[in-house]
Structures are given as structure tokens and as C-alpha cells.
A and B are shown apart, each in its own frame.
Chain A
Amino acid sequence: MLSRHVTKDISAYCHGELSSDESKQFAEHIISCLKCRTKFEEIKLGIKLAEQLPLLTAPDHLWTELGPQITQINPVTNRGWSWQLKVAAAAVLLLVSSLGAWWFYSRGRKEVTGKSYWQVTRLDGTPMIGKEAISNNGQLAVGEWLETDGNSKAQIAVSSIGNVDIDENTRVRLVETQATEHRLELARGKMSARIWAPPRLFFVDTPSAVAADLGCAYTLEVDDQGASKLRVTSGWVALELKDRESIVPAEASCDTQPGVGPGTPYFDDSSSAFRESLKKVDFDPDAVARSAALTSMLADARTKDTLTLWHLLARVDGNDRVRVYEKMAALDPPPPGVTREGVLQLNQSMLDSWRDELKSTWMGVDKKVPKPIAEAYWRAKNGLSRRLKEMAPK
């Protein structure tokens, strides 16, 4: 939004046809420009669809029918090749027969730039890729596991869009790396990701949710039971499972549980009583206990906690939804056009309008500041704060 729109460059960006400077400018613009981001999602789908075009096999009869016509065109035949040429021809024919199948099956999994692996750097100890220990650098191919023990750490370069630090006792697998999607699986342990690419290019599968990068930095932890905890330090991350989605901004966290999916996001500076109650609301199987926890949660909620309350609107029903609405309306009234009835009926466009209005509060920016500037300021502030923390002596 702060620079020219980049919609015309979207395909070229996805195909790695832009220079590194152009790619960087593209990513910076698209993170803050809703118009270009919407178009980016559309083109990305178009690319994903086009990648499904199969290579067809020409029927055998073509050569049989062509042969006699070629003889007519070129009466001079079989002039005799050198032995080197015959060897080359045999090699080509052999290759052609096997490469067709190889090409078809591998094409969809290969990044346009030709890389179908990520570079791994050892940070400490002896991380393993499959059964091989890596000395200083290694390559993580699609389908391979990277595992660290209690004394080792590693860093993965996520194509050209960011990097991921892998902590001790962690197990991750590279699921996919393509121009339109990069995907890791975190089976257990902890990772920290810093991604500087347009939203929804980098995903992490966990046993209980999928973390979709929306242009950000975050840590993600999975325990032995498959539950996970996401903490966002910059930008936004979406945690998804089927039709349940939690949008988590910087300085907020979200827990997930197997069989339930993503819980409700909360700010890290919310009170411990608020977080304890939320845990019950999200994961307690007893409906009465959940409703009681909601009462206590609403009593502790601050204006900033509308992040949590907005997500809860669609997750509670009946009188509980009315109570959540009323608390939200008291803390930060809905904008014009968003009605009580509409919200209680979960009218999506009204919910989205209210969320867009609340974003300024969640980002800690005055509502009078134009949204693109507010978002740019907030990202810069988050990034600076994160870098200062990284630079601080341990």
C-alpha cells in the first residue's frame, strides 16, 4: 500500500522470475496491501491448478504412420552414424522411456527454481537427517525427517522466504516445497519461524492444527500428546483445523488439543486467571464448567481481550454468546452497520467488519490512524522489539 501495486508481478514472483531485490519489494508490499494479497491468493490457486496438467503419452501409431512419409521427404537414409552417436542415441532413447514417468511424478513436488530440498545448518550437537548425522550443513529433501536430541539444534533455510530454528528434542519433516506452498510437519518439540514472504506460503502441520503464516515470526511447540502452543512475536499466524480457525497477532498465543483443534487466542499479558478460565472454556468437556469459566473470564476481560472474545462469539451459543457480545459491546462497541442481531446470528460480514475495527485495538494503535499505516507501524514495532530481544545477552 505504501508502494505501487504488484499484481502484475504475481506469477513472475511465484515462478522465481523476479530478481532478489524485486522479490523483496514484492513481499514487503503484499504483506501490507489487502488488494494485492487477495489477487495473490487467486493467482496462487491458478498456478496450483495449472501444475495439475499431466504430460500425455503420444500414441505408438504416430511413428508408424510418419515413417513412410519421412522416407519420401528425405530419400537419403541410414548414412551411418559414428559409434559415439549411436551410443548417445541409445542413451537418449533409454532416458526418454524412463524420464517421462519420472517427470510426471516428480514435477508436482519440485519447486520451480529446481530445488526440492532445504538447506540445514547445524547450530549445536549432532542433528540427524534420516539416519545420517549432519556435520555442519545438510540438505533436507521432501519426505525426510530432521531430528534433534537433547543436545542438538539446527536451522533450516525455508527456500528463499525465511528460516526456522529447530530446538532440542524436536522432530520435523519437509512435506512440500513449491512456488505456491512450503510445508513442514512438526511431530514434536519446538521450532521458531521467521518468514518474510506473502501470507499463506508457509505452513506447519502439527498433530492438532495447521499453522499458516500470514507474514510473521513465531514459536510453535508440540508435546508428546500432540497438543501444541503457538506464540507469535511478529505479524499474524492462523491456526486451522477443518472449519475452526484462530487468527493470532503478535504478542498473543494460542493452544491446541488433539481432537479439538485450535483453542481461542489470548494476549500474553492477560491475567493468569483469565487464561485459566479460557483453558476450561476451550477444552473442558463439561458444559456447566465451561459456562462458569466463561463468567469468570468475562469479569477479567480488558478491551484488548476482545481478541479472545471475538473468536469466542462463534464458539459458544445461546445465552453464552449473548453474554460475550454484551461484554464486547461494552468494551469496544461495534462499528456502524454491525448489529446485535447480526452478530448473534454470526453474520460473517458483520463479524469481519467488527474484527477489522478491533484490529487497531489489538495492535495497540489509535483507531484514527489509517489501517495500512497502523499495520506498517505495528509490524515495524514488533520486528524491532523481537530483534532487540534476540540481541539481548542470554
Chain B
Amino acid sequence: MVMAEQLISGQVIEACQQGDRAAFQLLFETYKDKVFSIAVYSSGGDRAVADDVTQQIFLKLFTAIRQFRGDSEFTTWLYRLVVNACLDERRRRRRLLPWGETVAMRNPSDKKPQEKQYARREVSEAVQAAIADLKPKFRLPILLKYIEGLSYEEIATVMGCSKGTVASRLNRGHSQLAKRLAHLNNPAVWGD
């Protein structure tokens, strides 16, 4: 957890429970980028859908925060909302929209030297596209690990499964990413 999240104290949550708008804004500012990132990656890169999902998550959070009793970590509670919202959205849409058509899957190592500075960005885009193609059960642990920086134990609590299941799903997720993007296993791509 980054420092800002550690500063979200019981007082802030209590203020939110009492309906304090400034406290809501503070909570929103602290988590908006992470929640939005997960929503984008879970919606196949569709930012309009991610906007809606992020708003729904925060509305739900603000509506339900009075029920938060502090039995679990606040972040665990929040990310459970995020995971459920992303799964609900996927069920609703039934299919993933393809990632933005501008994402080219060509090998960045084919680029000329002067374009090398863009190679890493292309890797990142290729990864985003590959993540969007993963099944939710493999994608969500990866997002919780790499975007939220959660431990296996925390991911297990958020997803309601065992730590072993988290390890196994991350393993399979990593493996699928590597197979799908094997063409990027080239030092030239990484600027090495």
C-alpha cells in the first residue's frame, strides 16, 4: 500500500459514514486512479465503460460505507467492490470489446533505432491488449497484484479464495501472457 492509502484513517472513514462530502472527495482522490485502471483493463480498454464502472463503484462505496464496520481492512472491502463491479459489468456485456484498434501487435524490435524510445510504450500496449484477453479469474489477480500491489493473502481475501488458488491463477495468468507475447522475449524490445 502506498503512503496515501495508509493516511486514510478511521477518522476519514467515520466522516464518510456521517455523510461528509469533503471526506468522500478525499477517499475518491486516493483510490480513483487505481479503481479506474482496473476498470479500464477489465473492460477491454473501453474508457467510456470504465468511466461508468468507476462511478458505479464509488457510488456503491459511498452508499454502503455506513455498513462498513471495520471487521476487515478498508482496502480489502473496497477492492471486493471493485472486483464484483468488474465481474458484473462483464456479465452484463457478455463479451469483451476488442482493445483499441490502434494497438498494433507487431514486434517492437522491428523498429528503427530512433524509434526505440517508443518500444517500451508499445510493449505496454501489447500487454494491456493481452491482459484484456485473459479470463477474469486470471486477469483480476494480475490487476490486484500489479496495479494495487496487494500480497497473495490480500488478493485471496478480496477474491474469496485460498492463497494457493491465487498463486495458481497468477502462475497461469503469467504463463498465458508469456505465451501470447513470446515475440517480445527479445532484448532489443526492452532496450537492453
- Which residues of A line the B interface, CB within 8 A? 7-12, 15, 17, 39, 42-43, 45-47, 49-59, 61-63, 65-67, 69-71, 73-79, 81-82, 84-85, 88-89, 91-93, 95-96, 99-100, 103
CB atoms of A11 and B170 under 8 A apart? yes
Q: Interface of chain A, helix or strand or loop or mixed? A: helix
Assembled-state Cα–Cα distance A57/B37 (Å): 7
A52-B127, A73-B59, A95-B7 as given contacts; A43 in contact with B175, CB under 8 Å: yes
CB atoms of B173 and A103 under 8 A apart? no
Which residue of B has the minimal Cβ distance to A84?
A: B11
Q: Interface of chain B, helix or strand or loop or mixed? A: helix
- Which residues of B line the A interface, CB within 8 A? 2-4, 7-9, 11-12, 15, 18-26, 28-30, 32-37, 40-41, 47, 51, 54-55, 58-59, 62-63, 120, 123-124, 127-128, 130-131, 142-143, 145-147, 151-152, 163, 167-168, 170-171, 173-179, 181-182, 184-185
Which residues of chain B are within 8 angstroms of A81 by Cβ–Cβ distance?
Answer: 15, 20, 22-23
A55-B33, A56-B36 as given contacts; A62 in contact with B51, CB under 8 Å: yes
CB atoms of B18 and A53 under 8 A apart? no
Assembled-state Cα–Cα distance A244/B20 (Å): 65
CB atoms of B175 and A42 under 8 A apart? yes
Which residues of chain A are within 8 angstroms of B33 by Cβ–Cβ distance?
Answer: 55-58, 100
Which residues of chain A are within 8 angstroms of B62 by Cβ–Cβ distance?
Answer: 70, 73-74
Other CB < 8 Å A-B pairs besides A49-B127, A70-B21, A74-B21, 6 of them?
A11-B170, A49-B177, A50-B177, A53-B128, A89-B12, A92-B26
Q: Which of B7, B19, B26, B147 contacts A53 (CB 8 A)?
A: B147
A79-B18, A85-B12 as given contacts; A52 in contact with B120, CB under 8 Å: yes
A176 to chain B, nearest CB (A): 10
16 A-B pairs in the complex with CB atoms less than 8 angstroms apart: A17-B152, A49-B123, A52-B124, A54-B124, A56-B37, A56-B40, A63-B32, A66-B58, A75-B19, A76-B19, A77-B19, A79-B20, A81-B15, A85-B11, A89-B22, A100-B33
Assembled-state Cα–Cα distance A93/B146 (Å): 23
Q: Which of A15, A55, A70, A89 contacts B147 (CB 8 A)?
A: A55
Which residues of chain B are within 8 angstroms of A12 by Cβ–Cβ distance?
Answer: 152, 167, 170-171
Which residues of chain A are within 8 angstroms of B47 by Cβ–Cβ distance?
Answer: 59
Assembled-state Cα–Cα distance A299/B41 (Å): 63
